[in-house]
């Protein structure tokens, strides 16, 4: 521990009870967690499979794994658990699926799949996209707060809340019928299992002897409860957090969970990491002065020994166009006059809509740039629809793909029909698609429902034959034509312009398939082409993780955890930052925390 400062060394070695490491920005919190894991294994002698560390993103978990791997060279780290909260929940659900009422191989729905399911539930109401998003958001909040549909309905204070509760109940029934869970279930279902089953709780407490949690200020109610249950009275716990960097209240994060620790663990020890290794003195002074205006459970103040550094540069601009011109010209100046790398520069803003003018000027001046958190081509609804059809053609046993497309566009195959189909397929131990053509299905469903399902099945089988006999791209074109998918896009888009963009995306996917068929994958089957596209999706997301030598553009939310030598914090004016809604609601504490995050991303020079 020679390379740790006194506070870091204290946090790493302390094992006499629960520990909160209050880690300011750039104070080396990941170093403390990774060193503590190595200390538990190498010095204390704890078996790696009894240690679990959780964080919030795959990227953070991978970084932690890599650092621990370097520290444990030559040591046995087999079984060491380093993952996201949701991966830990998934691991628990897979092992305890019977108790959770799930069958092996259950499906996990993403946000778009959940909204698709809600759309089907609301079919008679002809719901608009905003109503669907509202319902999904409310269901997510209820799950994070561990409320059942019954509890949610009993607390409803108006008709809309009661309606959302009814949708929640139908949504849960449908998930059960599909043998599926959504993203929030990966936390709330394990919590319920641990709360209601003493044997499962004891088994998992015996499995996890020491728990470490990163970014604790970002936990929501269900994540807090999961940690509390797993740790139990032993209190073998280290959590690392910073209430000044809690910027996710809009998705359920509760910075007050740091204060709750003192109530639930009276023996809690607090170690503050206040020495910053990232930023110069003037940058830290500005950050401290700003955040001091917020109330605090734990007081702290960042300091560094890097010297005062350059003064913070504040630019007054006429409008957003003038602002973009000043920023881009400064980036070009740094590149030409001082040989700075473009990759050293980041433009940070409150909302994604602010990026457009900067993109335009960067392109105009041939400055390479990268937008972090931009929408992946493969994450768009229309692309996911077509990819699901292609997955079903490549593998008719893909139940998740089947469920996504069987009623897209609408074929009057509702949740009740699919619930009975799922139940029958489960009893027979066969995929949903195969169950359609079995004689026994007619005993469970009305003739009209069976007819609609078999019409769909026959159509897919026709396309399967076509894909083997003909150009795979021709098969996809016939698929789109048969179901009049373009008309469906116009029906389900908020306006014609959005429908045109979505239609263009589908055309781009078809062009891509055509190029694959003619060049790289001549003579390959449709299944092989689909595998290739899936790999392209993975590579595209990996590319998002690496900005290379490009100017980074991102929201303040996306910038958390990152650092850059030169930061341009743009749009620092009332109604943008702080946001208009926070001003109207007289609640700018989180806006201060956002600005604090932005300021502390800068290592050398900060432009506002």
391 vs 402: CA distance, rounded Å? 9
26 vs 281: CA distance, rounded Å? 13
Q: Is 98 a catalytic residue?
A: no
Q: Which of 10, 30, 262, 335 is catalytic?
A: 30
Q: Which of 8, 12, 29, 600 is catalytic?
A: 29
Q: Which of 215, 218, 243, 385 is catalytic?
A: 215
21: which strand partners? Answer: 240, 271
Q: Is 486 a catalytic residue?
A: no
Q: Is 470 a catalytic residue?
A: no
DSSP conformation class of 375? P
User: What Cα–Cα distance (Å) separates residue 266 from each residue in 17, 136, 147, 163, 557?
Assistant: 10, 37, 27, 41, 33
Q: Which of 12, 188, 245, 354 is catalytic?
A: 245
- List for the chain the helix, strand, coil content (%; round to 5): 60, 10, 30
Q: Which of 35, 384, 404, 601 is catalytic?
A: 601
Q: Is 126 a catalytic residue?
A: no
Peptide bond into 121 cis (omega under 30): no
Phi, psi dihedrals of residue 556, rounded to the nearest 5°: -60, -35
4 vs 131: CA distance, rounded Å? 52
CA angle at residue 122 from 119 to 123, to 5 degrees? 85
Q: Is 29 a catalytic residue?
A: yes
User: What Cα–Cα distance (Å) separates residue 347 from each residue in 139, 155, 213, 506, 607?
Assistant: 34, 44, 30, 32, 9
CA angle at residue 417 from 416 to 420, to 5 degrees? 85
| 3-class DSSP state of 546 | coil
Q: Is 446 a catalytic residue?
A: no
3-state SS string for 237-249: EEEEECHHHCCCH
Q: Tell me the residue ranges of DSSP E strands in 521-574.
A: 551-555, 564-569
108: which strand partners? Answer: 181
CA-CA-CA-CA dihedral for 497, 498, 500, 503, to nearest 10: 180
User: Tokens 């169950």 appear where?
Assistant: 435
132 vs 117: CA distance, rounded Å? 10
Q: Which of 96, 184, 214, 591 is catalytic?
A: 214
Residues 6+ apart with CB under 8 A from 497: none
Closest alpha carbon to 145 in 222, 235, 32: 222
Rg for the chain (alpha carbons), in Å? 27
Phi, psi dihedrals of residue 371, rounded to the nearest 5°: -100, 115
Angle in degrees, 0-180, between the axes of helices 589-599 and 281-291, rounded to the nearest 10: 170
Burial of 535 (0-12, 13-18, 19+ CB in 10 A): exposed
Is the distance from CB of 84 to CB of 56 less than 8 angstroms?
A: yes
Residues 6+ apart with CB under 8 A from 442: 450
Positions marked catalytic: 29-30, 214-215, 245, 601
């Amino acid at each position: 521990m020679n390379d740790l400062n006194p506070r870091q060394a204290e946090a790493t070695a302390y094992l006499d009870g629960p520990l909160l490491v209050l880690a300011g920005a750039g104070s080396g919190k990941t170093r403390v967690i990774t060193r503590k894991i190595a200390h538990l294994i190498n010095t204390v002698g704890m078996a790696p499979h009894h240690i679990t560390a959780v964080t919030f993103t795959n990227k953070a978990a991978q970084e932690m794994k890599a650092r621990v791997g370097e520290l444990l060279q030559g040591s046995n780290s087999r079984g060491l658990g380093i993952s996201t909260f949701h991966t830990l929940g998934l691991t628990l659900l897979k092992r305890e699926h019977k108790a959770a009422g799930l069958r092996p191989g259950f499906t996990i729905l993403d946000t778009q799949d959940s909204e698709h399911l809600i759309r089907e539930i609301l079919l008679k109401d002809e719901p608009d996209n905003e109503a669907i998003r509202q319902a999904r958001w409310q269901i997510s909040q209820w799950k994070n707060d561990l409320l059942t549909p019954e509890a949610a309905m009993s607390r409803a204070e108006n008709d809309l809340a009661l309606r959302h509760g009814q949708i929640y109940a139908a949504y849960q029934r449908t998930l059960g019928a599909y043998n599926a869970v959504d993203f929030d279930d990966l936390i709330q279902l394990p919590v319920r299992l641990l709360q209601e089953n003493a044997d499962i709780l004891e088994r998992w407490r015996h499995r996890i002897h020491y728990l470490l949690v990163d970014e604790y200020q970002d936990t929501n109610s269900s994540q807090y409860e999961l940690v509390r249950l797993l740790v139990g009275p032993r209190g073998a716990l280290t959590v690392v957090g910073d209430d000044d960097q809690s910027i996710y209240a809009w998705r359920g994060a509760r910075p007050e969970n740091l204060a709750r620790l003192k109530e639930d663990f009276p023996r809690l020890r607090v170690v503050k990491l206040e020495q910053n290794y990232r930023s110069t003195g003037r940058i830290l002074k500005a950050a401290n002065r700003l955040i001091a205006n917020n109330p605090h459970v734990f007081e702290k103040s960042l300091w560094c020994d890097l010297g005062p550094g350059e003064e913070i540069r504040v630019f007054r601009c006429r409008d957003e166009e003038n602002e973009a011109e000043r920023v881009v010209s400064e980036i070009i100046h740094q590149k030409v006059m001082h040989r700075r790398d473009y990759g050293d520069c980041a433009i940070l803003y409150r909302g994604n809509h602010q990026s457009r003018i900067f993109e335009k000027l960067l392109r105009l001046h041939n400055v390479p740039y990268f937008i972090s958190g931009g929408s992946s081509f493969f994450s768009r609804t229309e692309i996911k629809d077509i990819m699901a059809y292609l997955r079903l053609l490549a593998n008719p046993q893909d139940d998740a793909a089947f469920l996504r497309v069987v009623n897209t566009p609408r074929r009057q195959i509702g949740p009740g029909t699919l619930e009975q189909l799922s139940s029958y397929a489960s009893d027979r131990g066969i995929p949903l698609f195969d169950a359609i053509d079995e004689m026994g299905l007619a005993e469970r469903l009305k003739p009209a429902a069976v007819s609609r399902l078999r019409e769909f099945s026959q159509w897919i089988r026709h396309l399967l034959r076509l894909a083997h006999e003909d150009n795979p791209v021709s098969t996809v074109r016939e698929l789109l034509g048969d179901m009049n998918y373009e008309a469906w896009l116009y029906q389900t888009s908020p306006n014609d312009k959005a429908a045109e963009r979505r239609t263009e995306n589908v055309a781009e996917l078809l062009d891509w398939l055509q190029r694959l068929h003619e060049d790289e994958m001549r003579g390959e089957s449709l299944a092989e082409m689909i595998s290739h596209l899936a790999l392209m999706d993975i590579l595209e997301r990996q590319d998002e993780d690496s900005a290379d030598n490009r100017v980074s553009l991102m929201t303040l939310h996306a910038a958390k955890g990152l650092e850059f030598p030169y930061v341009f914090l743009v749009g620092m004016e009332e109604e943008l930052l702080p946001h208009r809604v926070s001003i109207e609601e007289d609640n700018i504490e989180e806006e201060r925390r956002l600005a604090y995050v932005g300021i502390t991303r800068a290592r050398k020079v900060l432009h506002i």
